[in-house]
Structure 1
């Protein structure tokens, strides 16, 4: 399923309350543009036995005490499982869904996407920056967005 198909499925699966599908339709191009920065259409997220995504708290190397919460998304199931501890599973998630879910995950600061398994070589998607882009898209008139 390509990025546009993922976005269309997200819109189709939205609650049919008259507002949500239109809001998702408005933000879909932003999600697609962000997703185009990554080479894969599906990533793997570590899940606990009760199907919660594993959230990791990272501490800044040079500023002890400064932390952020992240979710790692891995380029393959094997890579995810090699980084996970016992009892964790790897769940495949389309990239558009990952980005959309990130918007709602208030305690999570970022999504870190790993293509080759090295955590030092991850690509970061900041929830705050993605939310700011979405807010602008929802508040500007369509002809100015």
Structure 2
């Protein structure tokens, strides 16, 4: 599924609250810009039986007090076992998710600091990390562009 189709699916499945579809549309350039850097258009995400994404807490080797919480995104279903034994747990499910949807969810996942995309099947060494703070910054820039005076229609009055 190409990135345009992924964004359209996000918009189509958004709550019809008069805000969310427009918000997705406004931030879609940021989602696409990051998704274009990824090797795959969709990844596998490990989930609990309730549908919650599985978090992994990583500690800094040199400073064990520094921790970050990540969600891994796997290029193939077989790669889940490279990182986590949770993939072997029958209570855990693996779901394939379009890349832009993973990025969109990242903003809503408060306890998550990053999504770590594994980019080479069978290996854990080639990853692409997307920090929530960086994604939020990009989205804010997009929203500011949308609110800039040049986007106000001349016939608004």
**Is the shorter-chain TM-score for this pair beyond 0.5, marking a shared fold?**
yes
Q: Specify the SS of the correspondent of 2:125.
A: helix
Tell me the distance in 1 between the aligned counterparts of 2:94 and 2:65. Answer: 30
Contact 2:47 2:53 in 1 (8 A): yes
Deviations 1:84-138 (CA, angstroms, capped at 9, x unpaired): 3231322101001000000111110000000224333211000001001111211
Contact 1:44 1:91 in 2 (8 A): yes
Listed as ranges, the gaps of 5+ residues in structure 1 are none
**What's the counterpart of residue 103 of structure 2?**
99
**What's the counterpart of residue 118 of structure 1?**
123
**What's the counterpart of residue 48 of structure 2?**
48
Larger Rg: 2
Tell me the distance in 2 between the aligned counterparts of 1:90 and 1:84. Answer: 12
Contact 1:46 1:91 in 2 (8 A): yes
Q: TM-score, normalised by structure 1?
A: 0.91
Q: Specify the SS of the correspondent of 1:119.
A: coil
Over the residues paired in the alignment, what is the CA RMSD in angstroms?
1.6
